[in-house]
């Protein structure tokens, strides 16, 4: 269950009368999600068939007992969701199962050199994820890893060690998989990378990390109340935006949500940042960032609002010094920083989960996906494309050819 407080430290910016102009639009949008063309997005739990889910579970068992290192290759939406969930829900130390290495997010030779050295004597399984099958960074990473694996394993063995997650029908990766007999998973036709965390794109790496994907999917199940909340949040963001708050900080008080914030930044930037519009997403991992960006949020240019994701219950660490739980002090920090920033003209929305687990993370994923799509519809930009991302790919490819 998620708790929303869009009032306490935002009220002086959000007046009742500001919301009136959105009523008609909000009604139309809700109808599209409940029973119209966007119905699909209100049912993230149906993004994956039971057949494919079974295949993921079986493959997970195989991967967990047959490699030292599981390499996930992908960029943008093809890896961010799984990395976010894995970081959020894994223990810091003493992780069980194969080590998971993400590759394909840059062109840095130092990173590849060191990774190739590190894995050369290890047993490896790779999952290359690219919906288009043509993105430069993952395709370079895959060629390097496949080269190394081809020297270690027979053609027959490679069939068990190379997994391709791509478009159901087309693209270079689908063709290669058909040719070589590699295991494949499908990115559903209608689901772009940044929305694909609860498809095989995200679910296989998450399951390999030992996280219960059924609970995650369960958390993301349809909730009509969630659509209402997502509309309310999207309206508040738009009101802030029109009042000059053009930057949104996703702020957390648990460092394990660092990559969740990275996922949010990608989700909102690619969904809304187009046609010279959009709110720039940044993140603060507090209390660390109170000693860097915090200064700007408190006293810098008045262009920022925050969306704070709080966690009510956490592991027990008692501080004799104050005769208090450390988590209570963390919660006091969250509240008092909210007040301080509000006084400094940086308002905040507060989203709280009771505790951090598969279900609540699933709920948050669904809530933010809905919010990003609805925010784009309110801003009248297309939520589902990312033409600006294509531009740089085109220029690099032209140069390479
Ligand atoms: O959200 C998106 O659509 C993008 O971030 C893509 O995931 C990213 O560009 C990678 O594309 P592809 O999966 O085609 O390699």
Domain boundary among 156, 186, 211: 211
Asked if residue 163 belongs to a domain, the reply is yes
In a shared domain, residues 115 and 248? no
> What pLDDT is recorded for position 394?
86
135 pocket-lining for ligand 1 (C-beta < 6 Å)? yes
What's residue 222's pLDDT?
A: 66
Q: How far apart are CA 373 and CA 278, in angstroms?
A: 12
157 lies in the same domain as 59: yes
Q: What is the pLDDT of residues 227-239, one digit of tens each?
A: 999 999 999 999 9
Whether 137 and 82 share a structural domain = yes
**Domain co-membership, 249 together with 372:** yes
Is 8 an active-site residue? no
Question: Residue 400: inside a domain, yes or no?
Answer: no
Known catalytic residue: 393?
yes
- Kindly state whether residue 102 falls inside one of the protein's structural domains: yes
Q: Do 366 and 44 contact (CB within 8 A), yes or no?
A: yes
Return the residue whose CA atom lies nearest to atom 2 of ligand 1: 193
CA of residue 132 to ligand 1 center, whole Å: 8
Is 119 in contact with 153 (CB distance < 8 Å)? Answer: no
pLDDT in the model for residue 49:
86
Q: What is the Cα–Cα distance from 238 to 393, expressed in whole angstroms?
A: 31
Which residue of the set 16, 151, 291, 394 is catalytic?
A: 291
Atom of ligand 1 minimally distant from the CA of 138: 15
Residues 24 and 60 in one domain: no
Last residue of a domain, one of 185, 211, 237: 211
CA-267 nearest atom, ligand 1: 1
Q: Do residues 253 and 198 both lie within one domain?
A: no
- Give yes or no for residue 138 CB within 6 A of ligand 1: yes
Task: Identify the pLDDT of residue 45.
Answer: 72
Q: Is 130 in the pocket of ligand 1 (CB under 6 A)?
A: yes
Asked whether residue 122 is assigned to any structural domain, the reply reads yes
Would you state the structure tokens that stand for residue 103, as one six-digit string? 């590759």
> Is 345 inside any structural domain?
yes
Mutate to test the pocket of ligand 1, among 135, 168, 393 (most ligand atoms within 8 A of CB): 135
Indicate if 193 and 329 belong to the same structural domain. no
The SS3 assignment for 80 reads helix
> Which residues constitute the domain of residue 324?
2-36+218-388
193 lines ligand 1 (CB under 6 A): yes
In this structure, the answer to whether residues 59 and 170 fall within a common structural domain is yes
pLDDT, tens digit (0-9, with 9 covering 90-100), for 106-124:
999 999 999 999 999 999 9
Q: Are 297 and 248 in contact (CB under 8 A)?
A: no
Those residues of the chain that have pLDDT short of 70 are 222
Q: Residues 122, 16: one domain?
A: no
Nearest residue to 126 (alpha-carbon basis) of 180, 88, 84, 194: 180
pLDDT at 1: 83
Q: Atom of ligand 1 at shortest distance to CA of 166?
A: 13
Distance CA 111, CA 104 (A): 10
pTM: 0.96
DSSP H or E stretch at residue 396: helix 387-400
Q: What's the domain count of the chain?
A: 2
Residue 28 is part of a domain; what is its CATH number? 3.40.50.10490
Decide which of 167, 190, 211 is a domain's last residue: 211
27 and 51 part of one domain: no
Q: What is the pLDDT of residue 164?
A: 98
The answer to whether residue 398 is domain-embedded is no
Q: Residue 253: beta bridge partners?
A: none
75's tokens: 């960029």
Q: Are residues 237 and 286 in the same domain?
A: yes
Residue 195 and residue 88 share a domain: yes
Looking at ligand 1, which residue's alpha carbon is closest to its atom 13? 130
Contact 172, 136 (CB under 8 A): no
Q: Is position 87 within any domain?
A: yes
């Amino acid at each position: 269950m998620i708790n929303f407080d869009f009032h306490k430290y935002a009220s002086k910016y959000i007046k009742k009368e500001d919301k009136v102009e959105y009523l008609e639009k909000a009604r139309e949008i809700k109808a599209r999600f409940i029973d119209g063309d966007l119905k699909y997005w209100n049912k993230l739990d149906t993004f994956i068939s039971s057949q494919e889910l079974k295949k993921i579970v079986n493959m997970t068992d195989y991967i967990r007992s047959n490699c030292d290192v599981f390499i996930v290759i992908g960029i943008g939406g093809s890896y961010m969701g799984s990395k976010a969930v894995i970081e959020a829900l894994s223990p810091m130390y003493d992780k069980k199962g194969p080590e998971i290495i993400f590759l394909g997010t840059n062109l840095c030779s130092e990173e590849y050199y060191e990774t190739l050295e590190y894995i050369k004597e290890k047993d490896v399984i790779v999952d290359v994820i690219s919906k288009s099958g043509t993105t430069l960074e993952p395709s370079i990473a895959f060629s390097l890893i496949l080269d190394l694996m081809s020297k270690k394993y027979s053609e027959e063995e490679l069939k068990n060690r190379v997994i391709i997650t791509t478009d159901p029908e087309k693209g270079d990766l689908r063709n290669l998989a058909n040719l070589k007999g590699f295991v494949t998973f499908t990115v559903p036709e209608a689901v772009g990378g940044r929305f694909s965390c609860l498809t095989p794109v995200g679910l296989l790496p998450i399951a390999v990390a030992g996280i219960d994907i059924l609970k995650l999917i369960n958390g993301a199940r349809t909730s009509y109340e969630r659509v209402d909340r997502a509309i309310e949040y999207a309206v508040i963001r738009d009101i802030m935006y029109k009042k000059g708050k053009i930057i949104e900080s996703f702020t957390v008080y648990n460092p394990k949500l660092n990559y969740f914030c990275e996922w949010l930044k990608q989700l909102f930037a690619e969904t809304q940042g187009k046609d010279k519009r959009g709110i720039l997403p940044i993140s603060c991992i507090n209390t660390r960032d109170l000693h860097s960006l915090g200064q700007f949020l408190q006293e810098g240019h008045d262009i920022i609002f925050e969306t704070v994701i709080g966690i009510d219950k956490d592991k027990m660490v008692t501080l004799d010094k104050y005769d208090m739980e450390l988590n209570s002090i963390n919660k006091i920090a969250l509240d008092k920083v909210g007040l301080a920033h509000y006084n400094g003209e940086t308002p905040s929305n507060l989203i709280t989960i009771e505790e951090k687990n598969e279900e609540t993370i699933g709920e948050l994923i669904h809530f933010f996906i809905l919010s990003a799509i609805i925010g784009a519809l309110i801003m009248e930009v297309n939520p589902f494309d990312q033409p600006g991302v294509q531009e740089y790919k085109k220029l690099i490819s032209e140069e390479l050819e």
